[in-house]
Chain A
Amino acid sequence: MKQKIILSVLCTVLFLTLLSTLTIGPVHIPIKTVAKILLSKIYNIQATWPENFQSIILFVRFPRILLGILVGCALSVSGCAMQGMFRNPMADSYVCGIASGGAFGASLVIISGMGRGLIMPVAFGFSLLAIFIVYYLAKTGRKVPVETLLLSGIAISLFFSALTSFIHYISEEWQWREMIFWIMGGLWKSDWNRVASSSPIIILGTLGLMFFSRELNILLIGEEQAQDLGVEVEKTRKIILVLSALVASSAVAVSGIIGFVGLIIPHTMRLIIGPDHRFLLPASCLAGGIFLVWVDTISRTLISPSELPVGIITALFGVPFFLFLLRRRKKIIGF
């Protein structure tokens, strides 16, 4: 009951976030006008607003905010699933090499002078490559010990980071500027194309993960007991890992490395809504979207007309808040 109330509150907040952040930017557009512009796409409404308002809303802010929701949701849902499945509070998709793999792939495309269009697919491919290398390195026999997985994740991350640094070192300045996007992460390159290319995998993957809520709950109790209760532990973990990797890699491919979201949001939601993944996954998804959109709004308005990389803001705002929660209610997280 309590959980359902929290979920409906989060849904409402997400909707309000979408509406209100559409009004915010170098040009303030009143909320009524925003609503009219959006509805004019569906209904026939007489245009009483300046032409440029329409393009700001429809081609600049709206795709950017949608992408923010998608990426925030993807990062926190995959982080949440990985923490649950590995019973480890430090686990998230970045720790397993997805971020550094993606950044390396993107840098490789940029320096080799291949077409821009290849950046996203190649980044996506390298993210997946990284996590599968990590998985097979950690695999011993039929089992994948969690500690080994996290350690090999860190090792592979460092390896890809070194390769990326090398590419940066030998790159031209203009190439280097482009690569920085991937390292710092951000939504300033948002357009409808990115929304369209990332949304299918993110939405389907997120829904897929939600169908594993029961298994995630049982895995949280412990591996042995999960087997006793009928869960095929290794197989289930593999599926959850693949789904999380797909979701997180899509996010990295369109927005670069945005840290902390996959760690902070699931833990915060665990404190608020409890450990039950039937509620925790949707809550993380909604809260991740809300969080990233607001943080992105701050990053694009704080030193307007220029902008800050969103990763800086996620860390600056997210970490103190998270630490505050952690200190106050340490034992409730449960790890």
Chain B
Amino acid sequence: MKLKVSHLNFSYDDVEALEDVSLDVESTQILGIIGPNGSGKTTLLKCINRKLRPRYGTILIDTKNISNFSRKEIARNIGVVPQVSSISFSFLVSDIVSMGRYAYLSRFGRETEKDLSAVKSSLELTGTAHLSNRFINEISGGEYQRVIIARALAQESKILLLDEPTLHLDINHQIEILELVRSLARKRNLAVIMVLHDLNLSARFADRLLLLNKGRVYKAGSVEEVLQPENIEKVFRIKVKIIRDTETNILSVLPVSVMKG
């Protein structure tokens, strides 16, 4: 399975937000999207699942153009994990995950055996089965985000979009969530597009990176290709050193100083 986005253009009223953005991502792959604030990362995700209608450009899932898909069809094909927010209403965790099945239910129908088993396996895969009878507004931030990932899995889509899934989480939960996403991509054959603010985390968990600058693709390719000091300096206006730890082989970005002028 392959998601292919070509020549996407989007503008808010007359402010150009995305210009000629193309990308593709295949099953089991994680594409990381990085870029400064306002570079169009979230807008790009919203265009991909058509919450925003791009002015032009096409989005293909394999050979199917999704531009005429209904919202339910989109939800069956693309799952979304939004930025860590919170739900202040006392729904049970199992109710929240069941909401992922909405796209499969008819108005007068009830949940079938298939829906229940999809919910159950999503809870198990994300390690949230033990929370299913807890209230969503009474669990921790890390648990919450795992539940939201479970909800997206219950959609049984082949594409997963994540918008800064680790924002506001502590370092332990950041790694935990991203390791979960990586293992799910492999186990469930998901094509994942993930917006990440943290360059170190994106270096570590993405298979490929796409660097956005002012709504345009500045550089796309392997992690090593994109995380070159000159790319980062140009886009983020900051001097960095890129270091590879010899023991763990983990690449990291060390900010040195903000560039003047």
Q: Is the CB of A222 within 8 A of B85?
A: yes
Q: Is the CB of A230 within 8 A of B75?
A: yes
Q: With A224-B82, A230-B74, A232-B71 in contact, is A334–B102 under 8 Å at CB? A: no
Interface centre among A222, A224, A230 (most CB of B within 10 A): A230
Q: Is the CB of A229 within 8 A of B91?
A: no
Q: Give min CB distance, B86 to chain A, whole Å.
A: 10
Is A307 interfacial (CB 8 A cutoff)?
no
Residues of B contacting A274 in the complex (Cβ-Cβ under 8 angstroms) = 90-91
Q: With A218-B99, A275-B91 in contact, is A228–B137 under 8 Å at CB? A: no
Q: Is the CB of A228 within 8 A of B82?
A: yes
Q: Give min CB distance, A211 to chain B, whole Å.
A: 6
User: What 0/1 pattern do residues 88 to 108 of B give for CB contact below 8 A with A?
Assistant: 111100011001101101011
Q: Is the CB of B155 within 8 A of A217?
A: no
Q: Which residue of B lies closest to A275 (CB)?
A: B89
A-contacting residues, B82-141, CB 8 Å: 82, 85, 87-91, 95-96, 99-100, 102-103, 105, 107-108, 137
Q: Is the CB of B89 within 8 A of A334?
A: yes
Q: Is the CB of B85 within 8 A of A334?
A: no
A220 to B87, CA, bound (A): 9
User: What 0/1 pattern do residues 275 to 309 of A give for CB contact below 8 A with B?
Assistant: 11000000000000000000000000000000000
Indicate which residue in A220, A230, A335 contacts B71 across the interface (CB closer than 8 Å).
A230
Q: Give min CB distance, B202 to chain A, whole Å.
A: 22
A-contacting residues, B149-195, CB 8 Å: 151, 155
Is A313 interfacial (CB 8 A cutoff)?
no
Q: Is the CB of B80 within 8 A of A228?
A: yes
Is A227 interfacial (CB 8 A cutoff)?
yes
Q: Is the CB of B88 within 8 A of A335?
A: yes
Residues of A contacting B80 in the complex (Cβ-Cβ under 8 angstroms) = 225, 228
Q: Is the CB of B90 within 8 A of A334?
A: yes
Q: Give min CB distance, B254 to chain A, whole Å.
A: 35
Residues of B contacting A232 in the complex (Cβ-Cβ under 8 angstroms) = 70-71
Is B55 interfacial (CB 8 A cutoff)?
no
Is A214 interfacial (CB 8 A cutoff)?
yes
Q: With A211-B107, A229-B100, A230-B71 in contact, is A220–B89 under 8 Å at CB? A: yes
Q: Is the CB of B95 within 8 A of A217?
A: yes
Residues of A contacting B70 in the complex (Cβ-Cβ under 8 angstroms) = 232
Is B51 interfacial (CB 8 A cutoff)?
yes
Is B234 interfacial (CB 8 A cutoff)?
no
Residues of A contacting B90 in the complex (Cβ-Cβ under 8 angstroms) = 274-275, 332, 334
Interface centre among B75, B80, B102 (most CB of A within 10 A): B102
Q: Give min CB distance, B14 to chain A, whole Å.
A: 15
Indicate which residue in A217, A275, A334, A335 contacts B99 across the interface (CB closer than 8 Å).
A217
Q: Give min CB distance, A212 to chain B, whole Å.
A: 8
Q: Is the CB of B102 within 8 A of A218?
A: yes
Residues of B contacting A323 in the complex (Cβ-Cβ under 8 angstroms) = none
A-contacting residues, B32-73, CB 8 Å: 49, 51, 70-72
Q: Is the CB of A230 within 8 A of B72?
A: yes
Indicate which residue in A211, A217, A225, A230 contacts B108 across the interface (CB closer than 8 Å).
A211
Q: With A217-B95, A222-B85 in contact, is A229–B51 under 8 Å at CB? A: no
Q: Which residue of B lies closest to A236 (CB)?
A: B71
Residues of A contacting B89 in the complex (Cβ-Cβ under 8 angstroms) = 220-221, 275, 334
Q: With A228-B82, A232-B71, A275-B91 in contact, is A221–B51 under 8 Å at CB? A: no
Q: Which residue of A lies closest to B72 (CB)?
A: A230
Q: Give min CB distance, A289 to chain B, whole Å.
A: 25
A218 to B151, CA, bound (A): 12
Residues of A contacting B108 in the complex (Cβ-Cβ under 8 angstroms) = 211
Indicate which residue in A214, A218, A227 contacts B51 across the interface (CB closer than 8 Å).
A227
Residues of B contacting A334 in the complex (Cβ-Cβ under 8 angstroms) = 88-90, 137
Residues of A contacting B82 in the complex (Cβ-Cβ under 8 angstroms) = 224-225, 228
Q: Is the CB of B103 within 8 A of A229?
A: yes
Residues of B contacting A218 in the complex (Cβ-Cβ under 8 angstroms) = 99, 102
Q: Is the CB of B75 within 8 A of A229?
A: yes
Residues of B contacting A331 in the complex (Cβ-Cβ under 8 angstroms) = 88
Residues of A contacting B87 in the complex (Cβ-Cβ under 8 angstroms) = 221-222
Is A326 interfacial (CB 8 A cutoff)?
no
Q: Which residue of B lies closest to A221 (CB)?
A: B87
A231 to B82, CA, bound (A): 16
Q: Is the CB of B102 within 8 A of A229?
A: yes
A218 to B70, CA, bound (A): 17
Closest 4 CB pairs of A and B: A230-B75, A230-B103, A334-B89, A228-B80
> Can you name 21 A-B pairs with beta carbons within 8 Å?
A211-B108, A214-B105, A218-B99, A221-B87, A221-B91, A221-B99, A224-B51, A227-B49, A227-B51, A229-B99, A229-B100, A229-B102, A229-B151, A229-B155, A230-B75, A230-B76, A232-B71, A275-B90, A332-B90, A334-B89, A334-B90
Please give 7 more A-B residue pairs, beta carbons under 8 A apart, in addition to A225-B80, A229-B100.
A221-B96, A222-B85, A228-B79, A230-B102, A230-B155, A275-B91, A334-B88
Chain A residues within 8 Å of B, Cβ to Cβ: 211, 214, 217-218, 220-222, 224-225, 227-232, 274-276, 331-332, 334-335
